[in-house]
Structure 1
Amino acid sequence: MKIAILGAGNMGLSFSKSFLKYELIKPENLQLITRNESRLAKISEEFPHSRISVFQDVKEIDADLIIIAVKPQDFQYVAENIRFTLKENQMVLSIMAGIKIEKIQKLLHHPLVVRAMPNSPTLLGMGITGYTSADGISFSQLINIERLLNSTGRSVYLENEDLLNGVTALSGSGPAYFYYIIDAMIKAGIEMGIEENLSKLFVKQTMLGAYHLINNSDKNLEELIKDVASKGGTTEAALRTFEENNFKEILKKGILNAEKRAQELNG
């Protein structure tokens, strides 16, 4: 399989690394296309045997799959300034937030589009990606796409494309919510007199341990919370403060606003 990635940013490059790591593609069959000429040297250094191109110079793409990894706000410009014509049998995989399949088909004048929403842990092969496809994509083509997506972590096929905006808000943006909470916890530790590096260690190891408990326990989240929060204890004091300040509702509202923004990106 030959793959071209249009948009050699963090996500495009992390996909490339996963494909190469699991030998799903040979380096010479990978073409990375960037608009940023200043990044050429760095990309060439990281991917010495791949083909590196500048967007405005590309007049033809020799690839079975073209991955669109540009920012959603830039897609209109990119689509209007493409100098190559997509061949009938070429597949397009979009990993842009918010941009619907119908709009991609219309702007690229091409029907074979799969839309996916990965998240940043794909950098470590620990991401999760929701994806869906246009009509006319065969089962074998979807299996090939899934194999590629699974090299970056896990993937879930969704029949309903509208759910992808929810996936964008939940898991696509999700890592930042955890970072935000962790940052607040670390700063609370510092305020209590715990040295910053030590505070980071306590919080990160607590997060890791909590994740494994969730994964390995038969108990639901409410039961796990009760296991930690004894009546009249320290955890209960913290949780009561969260409830009094509607922390859960604020978090939910933020996620719903992220979904709304994903909808707006389609224009």
Structure 2
Amino acid sequence: MKIAVLGAGKMGISFSKSFLKYDLIKQENLQLITRNKNNISAISQEFPRVQVLAFDEVSTIDADLVIIAVKPQDFAFVAENLTFKFKENQLLLSIMAGISIEKIQNLLHHKAVVRAMPNSPSLLGMGITGYTSAPGISFTQLIQIERLLNSTGRSVYLEDENLLDGVTALSGSGPAYFYYIVDAMIKAGTEMGIEENLSKLFVSQTMLGAYHLINNSDKNLEELIQDVASKGGTTEAALKTFDDNRLKEILKEGILAAEKRAQELNN
């Protein structure tokens, strides 16, 4: 398989590294296309046998799969300024937040589109990606796509494309929510007199341990919470403050706001 990445930014580069790491493609069969000519030299040093081109220098793409990895806000501009046409047998994989399959098809004049929503832990091969496809994409093609996506972590196929905006809000944006909470916990630690690096160690290891308990325990989340929150204890005092200030509702409202923004990006 030959792959071209249109939009060689962080996520496009990350995907390329994962494909190469697991020998899913050879460098000679990879083409990276960037809108920023200043990045060509650095990308070429990182991928010495990969063809790296500026967006306005591309006259044709011979790849079997073209990954559309531009920012969603830039997609309309990119689509209007393409200097080439996609070939009928090429498959397009979009990893842009919010941009629907129908809009991609209309602006790129191409029907064979798969839409995916990865998240930033894909940079470490620990991401999760929801994906769906236009009608007419074969089972064999979807298996190929899944194999590529799984090199960056895990993937889940969704029959309903509308759910992808929810996936964007939940897991696409999700890492930032955890960073936000972790940052608040670390700052609480420093206010209590714990040195920042030590506070970060306590919080990050606590988060890691909690993650493994969620994945390995037969108990549901409410039961896990109750295991820690003994009656009249310190955890109960914290949880009461969270509830009194509607923390859970505020978090849900924020995630729903992210979903709404994902829907707006399509317009």
Same fold, judged at TM 0.5 (above): yes
Which residue is equivalent to 1:129? 129
Distance 1:26 1:222 in 2: 47
Q: How many residues align?
A: 267
- Please give the per-residue CA displacement for 1:157-178, whole angstroms capped at 9, x wherever unaligned: 0000000000000000000000
Which residue is equivalent to 1:81? 81
Which residue is equivalent to 2:251? 251
Answer yes or no: is 1:110 the counterpart of 2:110. Answer: yes
Q: Deviation of residue 107 (structure 1)? A: 0.4
- AA of the residue aligned to 2:84: F
SS state of the match for residue 62, structure 1? coil
For normalisation by structure 1, the TM-score amounts to 1.00
Which residue is equivalent to 1:141? 141
Question: 5+ residue gaps in structure 1?
Answer: none
SS state of the match for residue 161, structure 1? coil
- AA of the residue aligned to 2:134: A
Q: CA RMSD in A?
A: 0.4
Which residue is equivalent to 1:119? 119
- Please give the per-residue CA displacement for 1:189-221, whole angstroms capped at 9, x wherever unaligned: 000000000000000000000001111100000
Residue pairs, 1:170-209, within 5 angstroms? 170-209=170-209
Q: Which consecutive aligned stretches of 4+ in structure 1 deviate over 2 angstroms post-superposition?
A: none
Which residue is equivalent to 1:231? 231
Distance 1:70 1:238 in 2: 42
Identity %: 80
- AA of the residue aligned to 1:137: I
Question: 5+ residue gaps in structure 2?
Answer: none
Answer yes or no: is 1:222 the counterpart of 2:222. Answer: yes
Distance 1:247 1:45 in 2: 46
- AA of the residue aligned to 1:150: N
Q: Deviation of residue 46 (structure 1)? A: 1.1
Q: Deviation of residue 42 (structure 1)? A: 1.1
For normalisation by structure 2, the TM-score amounts to 1.00
Answer yes or no: is 1:6 the counterpart of 2:11. Answer: no
Task: Select between 40-49 and 242-251 the one with higher mean Cα deviation.
Answer: 40-49
Q: Deviation of residue 61 (structure 1)? A: 0.4
- AA of the residue aligned to 2:247: F
- AA of the residue aligned to 1:122: S
SS state of the match for residue 33, structure 2? strand
Distance 1:105 1:91 in 2: 11
SS state of the match for residue 219, structure 1? coil
Answer yes or no: is 1:168 the counterpart of 2:157. Answer: no
Which residue is equivalent to 2:58? 58
Which residue is equivalent to 2:40? 40
- Please give the per-residue CA displacement for 1:116-164, whole angstroms capped at 9, x wherever unaligned: 0000000010000000000110110111001000000000000000000
Distance 1:41 1:59 in 2: 20
Distance 2:28 2:250 in 1: 48
SS state of the match for residue 129, structure 1? strand
Q: Deviation of residue 265 (structure 1)? A: 0.3
Distance 2:45 2:212 in 1: 37
SS state of the match for residue 218, structure 1? coil
- AA of the residue aligned to 1:56: D
- AA of the residue aligned to 2:80: E
Distance 2:234 2:42 in 1: 50
Q: Deviation of residue 41 (structure 1)? A: 1.3
Distance 1:41 1:200 in 2: 36
